[in-house]
């Protein structure tokens, strides 16, 4: 330290100014590096989000799950799936489904085969939120689903563009009556009368189930009334 003092005293006025300027620059450089290092250490990592996913605080858990999906963190996928399967809070389950779809879309599709109806329902909804075109994949599974799931799928195809699919469901005499009736109800509201009336009459004359036969006739008459207005 003494040598530094002696060195400083030996400097003229101009060199002393230069000395302090250099010292200041070095100090500021060290300070900036320290701040950068501190910020870097605080940057969230996969471990940070996994810790949040395990949190008992619901908001923190949602935040961790959501950000893991945004960043497509594969390391967080097992944790998110575990929460999706065990969590009772529907809001958290929906965030889980969305994040699973962002990280591994095919993994999300596997939950369409879940025996848990709530998980299955949320999966259907999430697929459509990710991309409305996923409705085609869901429709492709129609025949293998149970009646409750079919009724829910029909809610998603409540549109004129699915008229042909709805007619096929209606024509399937092996289908549950409630499912066929709902398909017919949608056709009544969304179908094109000039295109479906002939098909409905043909179906009426060939229908073996009296309940369904009467319902088809009733709907035909309602469609005809609507066409006269």
Instruction: State pLDDT tens for residues 182-224.
Output: 999 999 988 888 888 899 999 999 999 999 999 999 999 988 8
Please say whether the beta carbons of 100 and 77 come within 8 A: yes
pLDDT score for 228? 58
Structure tokens at 168: 């096929």
Tokens 């060195």 locate to: 7
Neighbours of 128 (CB within 10 A): 14
Tell me what the mean pLDDT of segment 94-106 comes to: 96
The CA distances from residue 212 to 102, 180, 200, 229, in Å, are 43, 8, 12, 26
Query: 177-190 and 163-171 helices cross at what angle (nearest 10)?
Result: 150
- What one-character DSSP code corresponds to residue 115? S
- What one-character DSSP code corresponds to residue 112? G
Instruction: Please name which of 133, 132, 60, 129 lies closest in space to residue 100, comparing C-alpha atoms.
Output: 129
pTM of the model: 0.71
Cα separation, 171 vs 184, in Å, equals 10
Lowest mean pLDDT among 35-44, 46-55, 59-68, 180-189: 35-44
Residues 90, 56, 72, 141, CA torsion sign: negative
Please say whether the beta carbons of 108 and 101 come within 8 A: yes
pLDDT score for 121? 92
Lowest mean pLDDT among 81-90, 93-102, 153-162: 153-162
44-130 belongs to CATH 1.10.1740.10: no
Tokens 């109806």 locate to: 117
Instruction: Tell me: pLDDT of 47 over 90.
Output: no
Cα separation, 112 vs 59, in Å, equals 27
Tell me what the mean pLDDT of segment 17-37 comes to: 48
Cα separation, 159 vs 127, in Å, equals 18
């Amino acid at each position: 330290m003494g040598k530094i003092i002696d060195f400083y005293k030996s400097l003229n006025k101009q060199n002393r100014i230069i000395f302090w300027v250099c010292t200041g620059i070095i100090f500021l450089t060290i300070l900036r590096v320290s701040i950068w290092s501190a910020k870097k250490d605080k940057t969230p990592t996969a471990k940070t989000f996994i810790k949040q996913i395990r949190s008992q605080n619901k908001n923190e858990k949602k935040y961790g799950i959501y950000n893991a999906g945004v960043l497509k963190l594969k390391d967080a996928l097992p944790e998110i799936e575990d929460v999706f399967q065990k969590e009772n809070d529907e809001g958290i389950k929906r965030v889980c489904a969305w994040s699973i779809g962002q990280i591994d879309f095919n993994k999300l599709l596997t939950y369409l085969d879940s025996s848990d109806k709530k998980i299955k329902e949320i999966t259907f909804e999430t697929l459509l939120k990710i991309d409305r075109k996923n409705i085609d994949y869901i429709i492709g599974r129609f025949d293998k689903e149970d009646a409750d799931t079919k009724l829910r799928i029909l809610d998603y195809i409540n549109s004129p563009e699915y008229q042909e699919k709805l007619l096929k469901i209606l024509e399937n005499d092996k289908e549950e009556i409630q499912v066929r009736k709902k398909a017919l109800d949608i056709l009544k509201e969304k179908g094109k009368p000039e295109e479906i009336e002939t098909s409905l009459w043909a179906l009426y004359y060939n229908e073996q189930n009296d309940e369904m036969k009467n319902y088809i006739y009733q709907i035909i008459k309602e469609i005809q009334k609507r066409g006269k207005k």
